[in-house]
Amino acid sequence: MKNSLLVGAIMLIGASFITGCNASGSKGTPATSSTPIASATGIASKIAYVNIDTLEAKYDVLKAKREDFKHRQEQMESELQRSYQQMQSDAEAVQKKAEANNLSQTEYENAQKRLYQMQKSLESRKQSLTEQLMKDQEEFNKDLKMRLDAFLEKYNKTRQFDYILSYSYAGSSLLYVNKQLDITKDVVDGMNSEAKDGGSGSK
């Protein structure tokens, strides 16, 4: 499975995270500069963004899980390759015996059935392993979204942004971002700290 699947899952968090806080009566000072943006209603909105590329590269839980998925993918491919090679070896042995007339018709037919069953078992095993890995990735992506949502909700209690956007160099709908609105370091440091403390431990 490619790492881009994980990145894509993070991007599903949405183009924006809209908080339930009111922009007035700020209870804290943002760690980074935030510029009020005038909306169509004439009410200034406070906006910040999280760089998804940086989050993917520096969030320890995600990095560890990505390595885990990579290792499992390699193990799956290795297992399937060994099974395929065994099936190929058996098929070649049967073919050689058949060409040397060392197999009766019944023995040949039984060998063919056995090889067919090996092939079906291999296909079934491949499907099972692939589906399980994809299921685990989907579950982790849901957990990752919950972690980020929960952190931003807590983080925003003192910052009181109206919108927290997601930004990625590769696939963002934002064509330009003001780097003064970047809160990525706060988010990465905070989520890594929570993970180390065990409050949001990896599954």
Gap between the Cα atoms of 128 and 126, Å rounded:
5
The values of phi and psi at residue 164, to 5°, are -120, 110
Q: Which of 156, 145, 155, 134 is nearest to 52 (CA)?
A: 145
pLDDT at position 173: 82
Residue 5 and residue 115: Cα distance in Å, rounded?
35
Whether the Cβ atoms of residue 94 and residue 108 lie closer than 8 Å to each other: yes
Domain ranges of the chain: 4-63+144-197, 70-135
**Verdict on whether the full-model pTM lies above 0.85:** no
Distance between CA 43 and CA 39 in Å, rounded?
Answer: 6
Q: Using pLDDT thresholds of 50, 70 and 90, give the confidence band for residue 154.
A: very high
pLDDT tens profile 74-129: 999 999 999 999 999 999 999 999 899 888 999 999 999 999 999 999 999 999 99
User: How far apart, in Å, are the Cα atoms of 145 and each of 18, 39, 150, 169?
Assistant: 14, 28, 8, 20
The confidence score (pLDDT) of residue 176 equals: 84
Q: Which of 70-79, 139-148, 194-203 has the lowest mean pLDDT?
A: 194-203
Q: Residue 48, by phi and psi: left (phi above 0), alpha (psi -120 to 50) or beta?
A: beta
Q: How confident is the model at residue 172 (pLDDT cuts 50, 70, 90)?
A: confident
Query: What pLDDT, in 10s, does the model give residues 22-74?
Result: 333 333 333 444 455 544 555 568 999 999 999 999 999 999 999 999 999 99
